[in-house]
Homo-oligomer: A and B are copies of this chain.
Amino acid sequence: MATPKRIVVIGGVACGPKAAARARRLDPDTEITIIERGRMLSYAGCGMPYCVAGDIEDCRQLNYTPVGVPRDAVFFRNVKNVTVLDRTLAQQIDRENKTVEVVHIETGEYRTIPYDKLVLATGGLPFMPPIEGIRLNRVFRMHQPEDAVAMRDYIRSGQPKRAVIIGGGLIGLEMTEALARNNLHVTVIEMLPHILPGLLDVESAAFLTKYVRSLGVDIRAGEQVARIVGDDQGNVQKVVTAHGDEFPADLVLVAVGVRPNTKLAQDAGLEVSKFGIVVNEHLQTSDPDIYAGGDCVANRHLITGDLVFVPMGSTANKHGRVIGDNVLGGDERFPGVLGTAVLKVFDYNVGKTGLTEQQARDAGYDVVTALAPSPDCAHYYPTHKLVFIKLIADRETGKLLGIQALGPGEAVKRVDVMAAALTFGATAEDLTRVDLGYAPPYSTAIDIAAHAANIIRNKMDGTAQSISPLTVKEKLDRGDEFVWLDVRSPSEYEEMRIEDPRVKLIPLGLLRRRVDELPKDAEIITFCKISLRGYEAQRILEGEGFENVWFMDGGVMAWPYEVYTKPAGG
């Protein structure tokens, strides 16, 4: 292929500038132009919550290179030899004549820019649901650095005391921390049954919800916002749910998601799905001279093979490099994504990759799961902290499908390891064999991700028979009879326990001796703190001839409902 003379990129954040810079490094001569609505390029949108939180003192840092140079048109000219048309909107693509019609936002001047290869990096648009009052003053969204600065200025005025966040997804929760750390009382209203839907399953979401509530945040899942009410100044006053509950608010953040910005592509007659612009593995649209990447495109999910909309800065940057090569005739491929997401929620690290159990079931898998709350490093090492792991695999093949990891401990490492494993189609068995780094400050001898994979394997070969806490709850609600065998020590029981008449305490070390106390024909559900001992108890009882024994996945630590905890100092 002859080198194209003119490469035009629409969109100056993440994918677009990355594609431009890569193309320039590969070819010193091609003419490269970026069309960008704003003045700054390549700003770090993901940093906005930390700007509001106050972690980043100078929000302009989001626009700067690591050595403090603003990423504006001058920078791109001097360093990258790339022309930036800033404050400029792309209006229309003329595919036949290979031109883009643009308008300057301030002067209103129109121009027609010719291209040989065009790159669409038009990003995402925050979804603003059609709720009454959504245009009131002090109803924010978090789309670009200006939004973060405006919210921060308002917070620093000292006026707002109560915030309502509509949407308990990733941005909603990052912003919950940001606002709470500014001493605002925060209410999160999530329409779906639990927070972080799509990232977490019920049990992991319950684990996180318990924690966030313990910090004074009001989490309302399964509730829908009916309207936002303002005062006579047009300032927000309260949020009203469909149930009629009212939440006073000096500040509202709408964070119900983002949609791919596909208008330009659609108008140009390119193939577009509801997940974004449709591209092939080369990130080429249905017009071979037009590439697209970043939040505006549909990605292929590497596990299900389905098209998905998963806008991520990391993916956008990967896209940019691939496109930078391919507009110059390269053969780079971007096979797809795993839907990986990580976030910090106060002092919890939260992450997910692959499919949740729900997503896996929806995709038709017969799944086997492990709930493994575990210390993130050697239990005798003083900084060890808990990580709640949920691992999901295909029951038939043992192929891993996804992980959720969260807690005060090192969860993100396990998510990244799983992302690597999932990329290569690893099975639970494969994961147990990976030679992960072991030293007491970093892990347990068998890393907790591998431990979870061993649980999966034990379940697959029938050694481990478990019951999900959700199923136990259903049995409780039905009034089923069973022995709920807690095999922890009396002192652990004193500290924390599930209070129910079915619970019977026999410490594991005494179980073999006291086995006669248990009725042979009863259903027995064993558990401990995390259900390692619960599993051991299940095996002991089966060895003793019991036939209806299950250990409860994840033990007390993963029990998503009420747990008695001894009052501090009590």
User: A460 at interface (Cβ–Cβ under 8 A)?
Assistant: no
Give the docked Cα–Cα distance between A270 and B339 (Å).
50
CB–CB B47/A313 < 8 A: no
Chain B residues within an 8 Å CB radius of A508:
79
The answer on a CB contact under 8 Å between B56 and A382 is yes
C-alpha gap A39/B25 in the complex (Å):
65
Copies in the complex: 2
Question: How far, in whole Å, are A433 and B424 apart by their CA atoms in the complex?
Answer: 11
Residue of B nearest to A338 (CB): B435
Q: How far is the CA of A28 from the CA of B174 in the complex (A)?
A: 49
Interchain nearest-CB distance for A463 vs B (Å):
6
Residue in B26, B412, B442, B513 whose beta carbon sits within 8 Å of that of A437 in the complex: B412
Residue of B with least CB distance to A61: B380
At the interface, yes or no: A496 with Cβ under 8 Å from chain B?
A: no
Whether B67 lies near A342 (C-beta < 8 A) is no
Cα A508 to Cα B68 with chains together (Å): 13
A532 to chain B, nearest CB (A): 9
Please give, as numbers and ranges, the residues of chain B lying within 8 Å of A36 by CB-CB distance: none
**Among A106-114, A126-134, A314-322, the stretch in contact with B:** A314-322
Tell me whether B540 and A28 are in contact (CB under 8 A).
Answer: yes
Instruction: State A432–B416 Cα separation when bound (angstroms).
Output: 13
Q: Residues of B contacting A344 with CB < 8 Å?
A: 439, 441-442
* A341 interface contact, C-beta 8 A: yes
Q: 1/0 contact trace for A505-517 toward B, CB 8 Å?
A: 0001110110000
Check A435/B28 contact, CB under 8 A, given A379-B66, A380-B47, A509-B75.
no
Q: Is the beta-carbon distance between B316 and A445 smaller than 8 angstroms?
A: yes
Question: A314 to B444, alpha carbons, bound, how many Å?
Answer: 8
The reply on A539 being an interface residue by CB < 8 A is yes
The reply on A440 being an interface residue by CB < 8 A is: yes
A190 to chain B, nearest CB (A): 20
Task: Take A344-B439, A440-B47 as given contacts and tell me if A380 and B56 are in contact as well, using a CB distance cutoff of 8 Å.
Answer: yes
Contact with B along A418-454 (1 / 0, CB 8 A): 0111011010001111111111111101110000001
Which residues, 258 to 291 on A, are CB-close (under 8 Å) to B? Answer: none
Q: Are A81 and B446 in contact (CB under 8 A)?
A: no
With a cutoff of 8 Å between Cβ atoms, the chain B residues found around residue A366 in the complex are none
**Are B413 and A44 within 8 A (Cβ)?**
no
Within 8 A of B (CB), among A147-163: none
Q: How many angstroms between the C-alpha atoms of A14 and B416 in the bound complex?
A: 27
A381-437 residues at the B interface, CB under 8 angstroms: 381-382, 410, 412-413, 415-417, 419-421, 423-424, 426, 430-437
* Residue A360 is within 8 A (CB to CB) of chain B in the complex: no
- Chosen A-B contacts, 30 in total, with CB atoms closer than 8 Å, are A28-B543, A47-B381, A50-B380, A55-B381, A69-B489, A69-B509, A78-B512, A79-B509, A312-B438, A314-B435, A314-B438, A314-B445, A314-B446, A318-B432, A318-B433, A338-B435, A339-B435, A340-B435, A341-B437, A344-B439, A344-B442, A413-B413, A413-B417, A416-B437, A417-B419, A417-B420, A419-B437, A420-B434, A423-B430, A423-B435
The 7 closest A-B pairs by CB, nearest first: A28-B543, A342-B437, A314-B438, A424-B424, A420-B420, A66-B379, A61-B380
